Each structure stands twice: as structure tokens, then as C-alpha cells.
Chains A and B, each alone.
Chain A
Amino acid sequence: MDELIFKLNNVHFSYLKKYPALCGIDMQIAKGQKIAILGANGSGKSTLLQLLDALIFPDQGNIQAFERQLREADFNDASFCRNFRKRVGLVFQNPDIQLFCPTVKEDIFFGPLQLGMDRPKIEKQVGEIIEGLGIADLLERSPHQLSVGEKRKVAIASVLAIDPEIILLDEPTAGLDPQTSRHIMDIIIEANEKGKTIITATHDLHIVEEIADKAYILSRQKRIALSGPVVELLSDAELLREHNLMHIHKHRHQGQAHIHSHQHLDHHQH
């Protein structure tokens, strides 16, 4: 196996010490992998990403990142904190949370400036990202003036600007039109091709096969129900139905309505 980046051993987390969000998670993620964390709403996907980004810490069990255990106290050490934040970036599900500066440009520059990166390096890196995402005309605008798709692109840009080794994405295509969704998937795939490790939490099965090689399915019991290659997991209809990732509905094929299980793996004609 390639160099391990994250190793989770029996991780438990609960909100307010009484609402369990994750129970006994074991996971190993290697450098350069494309991982999908699948699960229905409320299965703990976002919580897991926040644990991986060391924004919250386990109640029980431990998380190792880059062969070192993540402990809250370690983040009081400025150089450790800066090093970790430089290596791991999280794109939040709600871009309004992530875009808190008065202008798009300030938001994109925020991360690199906090992390003490050189101004010429930031300028060069941000220039390339802005060009790649096609958001040059948004730079002087306030985030509240942007559409959902534009906000999402800027949120991704704000993380890419840090140039992290690991990118965590929380529902990156939720609520987007097909074209914007495709653009964001291309960005994720391109980042992986450049050697970045991609961990995406989603319940959108359209995108999983392209943005992940391996998937973990979180159950309603907040545990990992199954993990394995994406192709294998997606072919198990019973498993997907059990975890609310596939549904039964009525639709038309060539003028005839019928009912069957449907996982929407590709965009076919209804």
C-alpha cells in the first residue's frame, strides 16, 4: 500500500455528548487515492470530514494523520497547525459558510495569507486557479452577489489556493445544474491527476464512479456498513437500497411507464 495519510481506529463522535454522529469508524486512506464517503442524510459524512480536517476531535478512538496522532492540544503549536492546514483543505457543503470576506478575491487569498505563503507564489498560484475555474470576472464582487454554482467554484478556488495535498469535499455538486456539476467534477479529477488525495462525501451516485476508486458506505447506525471498490459497491442494488442511496420510482422508457429500483448512475432518457 502507498504511504498512509489517514488512519482511523474505532473513532466515535457525538454532539453535545448525547447525539451520536459516528460510532466505531475504522478507515485507512493512502496518498493519491480517490475516496467517496457515501451515506444518506444524517449518516455522519460531514462530521467525518470535519474530523479528518481536525476541526473536531473524536470522543473515543484516534485519528492518525501523516503518521502522527491528531490531538486538539497539538493545534496550539503554530508550526504544526500551519503545516497541517497547508496539507489538508476542506470545501464545506454550504459555500456561504466558506466565503466570509467582503470580496471573492479576498476570500481566495485568505487561506494562503494566513498560512504565510509568499505573495508572488500566491499571485501565481491564484492566477492559474482563477483561469482554470473561469472566475476572473468575479474577483471584485461580493460573495452574496454570486449564484450557487459560482459560490461553489469560488469555495473550491479558496481551498485550491492553499495547494493542499488532500482535498476534502462535502457534497460538491449538491444543487448544481448539470454543466456546473460537470465542471466541478473535472476540477476534482484534474486535482487527483496532479497527485492530490481526494475525499468526497456525497449521496449523489451520478458522480461517484468518476471521482472515486474506493468508497465507504455509512449506515444509519453511523457505522461503516461496507467499503470497497466503487464499481463493486454500486452494483449491489440491495445494499444501496438498504442505505437510502437508491430508490424505487415510476418512469418511462420509450413511452411505457413502469416501476423499478433506480440508482441514476448515468443520465439516460426517461
Chain B
Amino acid sequence: MRNAFKKNNFIEHSIKGVLLFFKDSVLSEEQASYRGFLQSIDPRVKTITVISLCIAVLVTKNIYALIFLYSFSILLAAISKLNLGFFLKRTWVFIPLFSLFIAIPAVFSFVSPGEALVTFKFIGFNLAITRQGLAGAILFVSRVAASVSLVILLSLSTRQSALLKVLRVLKVPQVFVMVLGMSYRYIYLFMEIVENTYLGIKSRTGALIHYQKGQSIVAWNIATLWQRSFKLNEDVYSAMLSRGYRGEPVLIEEFKTTFKDWVWICFVAIIFIGVIIFRNG
């Protein structure tokens, strides 16, 4: 019986976890306003150069080039005054997710046959880690580490609103950009609603609820949230119409490139060409 009550913590932990993730996002917005190096680069230039560096990461087979690009991203994080602990934590949350689970089977002989480095028995099966498998896995994980670091660097050093404007520059239709912007804007409102609703339920039911009751509360919460989002959708649309919206939004365009941006473009171009030339090691 006690276990049934304990399981209720799952709901609380899930809500707290999601809220914490969004608060982290707010924190990253703060970092985007610091007076660091990357924050001073025009968002368009920054996005295009980061995409170029990611392409360089994808085409190179040179492990030293990958190590260089990963180190370069950490250096950029440091001179952009980003919180290095936060940056590394964010990066290494995604790396196992995208790479390690795929890379681990690839080191074994049944996926990558070749010269065996280590052999051992596991539940009656003979397994061998091969040189080719290990090299391939290291290359793969390094690629993921470098590209994830670069993308996180971009997201931490740029305001979400500026990234959305960059999408417009990249010719993504304005209506998609606006929908993305509004989704980002209203996620916070819904998170507040979820948090307040949960606190309201907790204040009336106490901290311990039977897990079955907990499930029904979560289901009810999801249903009311859907209803509220539907109402909000109608109201926001009215507010847009009231200010002259007629189906095709017109949004502000205000980017300016400086000498510093052009120097940065040249610097990244040199790195890009260098990595391409030495891509085969």
C-alpha cells in the first residue's frame, strides 16, 4: 500500500523535471545577453558559420580535426563568457543519447569485423572488440561531440527570437516562423498553468495520493490544459485580428553586419577549408 503512495512522486518529479528544463532554457537566454564574443556576432553570420563548421565535422575523417573543432567550441564558449559547467553538462546530456548507444555495438566484431584488440566471453558468447570497430566508434562519438557542442554553443549564445529571425533570412516562410515563435512563447504560459494546477491539487489533497488517483489527476490535468489551449488559441487569434493580421504576418527585419562579422566569416572559412583539405587524416 505504501508503495502505491510512493509512486505518486513520479508525477511530482516529472512536473518538476519539465519545469526545471524550461527554467534552464530561460537561464540560457540570460547567457545570450552577456557581452561575450559570440553574442557580439550577427545572428545570421553566427548561424551560417556554425552550420559550415558542422558540415566540416560531418565530412572529415580526421580524428585530430574533430578534436580541434571540439576544443575550438570549448574555447568559443569560454571567450563568450558562457557558464562552462552548464555548457559541458548540456553537451554531454545529448552525446550519449545520440551516439554512445549506437556506437557501443559497433565496436564488437559481429558489427565491425577486423583485427581483434580484446576478446572475452559474455553469457556463453565469444565477443571481440576490433581495432576497426573501435576507430569507427571513436570517430562517430567525436563527430557527435563536436557537432552537438557547436549547435549548443549557437543556442546558448543567441536569443531564441534572433534565431527565429535567422530562419526568416534563410527563407523559411514567415507563417512557420511565427508559429514557432508563438509556440515558444506559450510553452511558458502552459508550464505556469501546469505548475499552479498541480500546486492547487496538492494543497487540497496533501502530499500523498494513491497512484491510481494520481493517474486520474494527470489525465484530468491534460484534458483541462487542452481545453485551455483551445480557448487561448481562439483568444490569441482575435488579438492578432484586432491589430490588423490578415493571414500573412509582417515581421521586423533588423540585422546589421559589422567588420567583426566579416573577420569571423574569413576565420571560419580558413578553418573550413583546412578541415576539408586534411579530411582524410
Which residues of A pack against B, CB within 8 Å?
50, 53, 55, 78, 81-82, 85-86, 89-90, 92, 94, 96-103, 105-106, 109-111, 113-116, 140, 142-145, 158-159, 162
In the complex, the answer to whether B188 meets A111 with C-beta atoms within 8 Å is no
Provide the residues of chain B in CB contact with A96, threshold 8 Å: 189
- Flag if A113 contacts B164 (CB, 8 Å): no
- Asked whether any CB of chain A lies closer than 8 Å to the CB of B115, the reply is no
In the complex the two chains form, is A86's CB within 8 Å of B244's CB?
yes
- In the assembly, what is the distance between CA of A109 and CA of B249, in Å? 12
* Cβ contact within 8 Å between A142 and B241: no
Q: What would 25 A/B residue contacts be, using CB atoms closer than 8 Å?
A: A55-B241, A85-B241, A90-B242, A92-B239, A94-B235, A97-B232, A97-B238, A98-B239, A100-B236, A101-B182, A101-B185, A102-B161, A102-B164, A102-B185, A103-B159, A106-B252, A111-B244, A114-B243, A114-B250, A116-B250, A142-B29, A142-B160, A144-B185, A145-B26, A158-B243
Task: Please name the residue on chain A nearest to B182 by beta carbon.
Answer: A100
In angstroms, Cα B242 to Cα A101, docked, is 15
Main secondary structure of the interface of B (DSSP, over half): helix
Complex CA gap A105/B33 in Å reads 16
Bound Cα distance from A102 to B26, whole angstroms: 13
For the complex with contacts A92-B239, A102-B161, 4 further pairs of A-B residues with Cβ separation under 8 Å are A81-B244, A81-B246, A97-B235, A97-B236
A126 to chain B, nearest CB (A): 11
Residue of B nearest to A84 (CB): B244
A143 to B160, CA, bound (A): 13
Beta-carbon contacts under 8 Å, B238-265 to A:
238-246, 249-252
Is B176's beta carbon under 8 Å from chain A? no
Contacts of A162 in B (CB 8 A): 243-244
Q: Is B181 part of the binding interface, using a Cβ–Cβ cutoff of 8 Å? A: yes
In this complex, the interface size class of chain B, counting residues with CB under 8 Å from chain A, is: 20 to 34
Is B267 part of the binding interface, using a Cβ–Cβ cutoff of 8 Å? Answer: no
| Nearest CB in chain A: distance from B135 CB, A | 44
Nearest first, the 6 A-B pairs at minimum CB distance are A111-B243, A114-B244, A102-B161, A144-B188, A115-B244, A85-B244
Q: Give the distance in Å from the alpha carbon of A115 to the alpha carbon of B200 in the complex.
A: 42
**Interface residues in B161-197 (C-beta closer than 8 Å to A):** 161, 164, 181-182, 184-186, 188-189
Q: How far is the CA of A99 from the CA of B182 in the complex (A)?
A: 10
On whether the beta carbons of B184 and A102 are closer than 8 Å, the reply is yes
Check A113–B185 contact: CB distance below 8 A.
Answer: no
* CB <8 Å contact, B239 and A113: no
Establish whether residues A142 and B185, one from each chain, have CB atoms under 8 Å apart when the complex forms.
yes
* B249 pairs with A142, CB closer than 8 A: no
B185 proximity list for chain A (CB < 8 A) = 99-102, 142-144
Inside 8 A of A94's CB, which chain B residues have their CB? 235
Question: Which A residues lie within 8 Å of B239 (CB)?
Answer: 90, 92, 97-98, 100
Shortest C-beta distance, B243 to chain A (Å), equals 4
Chain B's closest residue to A122 (CB) is B252
